[in-house]
């Protein structure tokens, strides 16, 4: 028995099922957040050029500095995961390999993100 369906009928339900919109927005919002946060980090490095370790620790002990650096780290590593996910989904055809690479990427990004967060907290306290 042959079922007659239009091209639209065959395509319906085969798309992103609205999950791609969240990913797209998250990537744009993290990119937008990274602009001022990266500028702040660069200005902080320039401000601390030639500073002693004690001066740098005093700078990082200021609540705003710790919070802004934590925001930078969180936004940066989340944006990194979102971008790499798109690359992995686009270029790895095998479902098994894609899953393995995706899990490895997320574990690696999570590990280094956690390492950066702990470093900022250690400097702040």
The whole-angstrom separation of Cα 34 and Cα 20 is 21
In CATH, the architecture of 27-124 is Up-down Bundle (1.20)
Please state the domain extents for the chain.
27-124
For residue range 49-101, what is the model confidence (pLDDT) as tens digits? 999 999 999 999 999 999 999 999 999 999 999 999 999 999 999 999 999 99
* Torsions phi, psi for 4 (to 5 deg): -90, 120
Q: Sign of dihedral through CA atoms 117, 120, 123, 125?
A: negative
Answer whether 109's CB lies under 8 Å from 76's CB: no
For residue range 11-30, what is the model confidence (pLDDT) as tens digits? 665 555 556 789 999 999 99
Q: What is the pLDDT of residue 20?
A: 76
Beta-carbon contacts of 33 under 8 Å, excluding residues fewer than 6 positions away, are 71, 75
Q: What is the pLDDT of residue 10?
A: 62
The one-character DSSP state at 74 is: H
Against a cut of 0.85, is the pTM above it? no
Answer whether 33's CB lies under 8 Å from 64's CB: no
């Amino acid at each position: 028995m042959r079922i007659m369906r239009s091209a639209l009928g065959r395509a319906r339900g085969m798309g992103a099922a609205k999950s791609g919109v969240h990913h797209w927005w998250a990537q744009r919002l993290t990119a937008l957040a990274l602009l001022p946060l990266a500028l702040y980090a660069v200005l902080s490095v320039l401000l601390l050029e030639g500073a002693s370790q004690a001066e740098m620790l005093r700078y990082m002990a200021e609540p705003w500095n710790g919070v802004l650096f934590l925001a930078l780290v969180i936004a940066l590593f989340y944006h990194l995961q979102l971008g790499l996910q798109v690359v992995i989904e686009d270029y790895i055809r095998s479902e098994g390999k894609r899953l393995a690479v995706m899990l490895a990427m997320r574990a690696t990004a999570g590990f280094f993100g956690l390492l950066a967060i702990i470093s900022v907290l250690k400097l702040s306290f």
